[in-house]
Amino acid sequence: MEGISSFIDFVTSRVDAITTATLEHLGYVISVFIVGTAVAVSIGILVRNRPFAREVALGITSVLLTIPSLGLFVMLIPVVGIGFWPPFIGLTLYSLLPIMRNTVAGLNGVDQAVLESARGMGLSGRQRLLKIELPMAWPVIITGVRISVLLISGIAAIATLVGGGGLGRFINSGLGRLGLPGSMESVWTGTLLIIVIALLIDSVFLLIRRATTSPGLR
């Protein structure tokens, strides 16, 4: 009970700092989600029917995901400086693979008989993509987006190490003062809030998927 009490005291005495860090963390997640989804879906559409280009794109994004996040953030500092941009660019690169892979899988999974029928009705390639392929592939695509958002929610904790802010500052501060009063409370604050953000965002995407997917595709 003493540990819970000290944790509550820690949180209530730092509401403003926690709110600021939470908004910074959400800023990373939301901005990376928007940019990463736009880029990954666009590339997925372009390469879906080009086997060589598809393998190259998926291979490159797979390699990017293996680069240690802190190393990637630090390597970007000489290019874009310290602060917001290294984590933003790095997180965007990390977000691409799940979305692109699911975009390709979803589009290639559309029944060819349906596409042939649409072609026979006179629909152009653009019309087939927008009216048939993307809507039918949407459940698979949004699953990739969910995975990507959960991934970047956790990795964004490292942004603080290159001056990017976010909830990782509480984890970093606690680890730097380990053994001192408030150190574990600081680590728990950052960790728990990151988990809460990830779960809330995942729940939102579940609702979006259900609301935007036709009953026949659920």
Banded pLDDT at 216 (limits 50, 70, 90): low
Residue 70 lies in a domain: yes
Q: Is residue 153 in a domain?
A: yes
CA separation for the pair 168, 51 (Å, rounded) = 40
Q: Is residue 78 assigned to a domain?
A: yes
Q: What is the pLDDT of residues 129-157, one digit of tens each?
A: 888 899 899 999 999 999 999 999 999 99
Cα 111 to Cα 117: distance, rounded to the nearest angstrom: 10
Farthest CA pair distance, the chain: 72
Token pair for residue 42? 């666009």
HEC string of 107-155 equals HHCCCHHHHHHHHHCCCCHHHHHHHHHHHHHHHHHHHHHHHHHHHHHHH
The answer as to whether 148 is a domain residue is yes
Distance CA 24, CA 186 (A): 17
Q: Is residue 98 part of a domain?
A: yes
Q: What is the mean pLDDT of residues 117-127?
A: 83
Instruction: Examine residue 216 and state whether it is found in any structural domain, yes or no.
Output: no
Structural domain range at position 102: 2-211
For residues 60 and 96, give the distance between their C-alpha atoms in angstroms, rounded to a whole number. 10
- Please give the distance of CA 40 from its chain centroid, rounded to a whole number: 11
Residue 6, pLDDT above cutoff 90? no
Residue 217 lies in a domain: no
Q: 135: number of CA atoms within 13 Å, CB side?
A: 15
Q: How many domains does the chain have?
A: 1
Q: Is 128 among the domain residues? A: yes
Torsion over CA: 195, 74, 144, 134 (sign):
positive
Confidence at residue 2, expressed as pLDDT on a 0 to 100 scale: 60
Confidence at 93, pLDDT banded by 50, 70, 90: very high
Distances (CA, A) of 72 to 11, 78, 93, 165, 213: 32, 11, 10, 17, 36
* Domain harbouring 89, CATH code: 1.10.3720.10
Q: Write out pLDDT tens, residues 169-191.
A: 999 999 988 888 888 999 999 99
Determine the average pLDDT of the residues in 65-76: 92
217 vs 174 pLDDT, higher one: 174
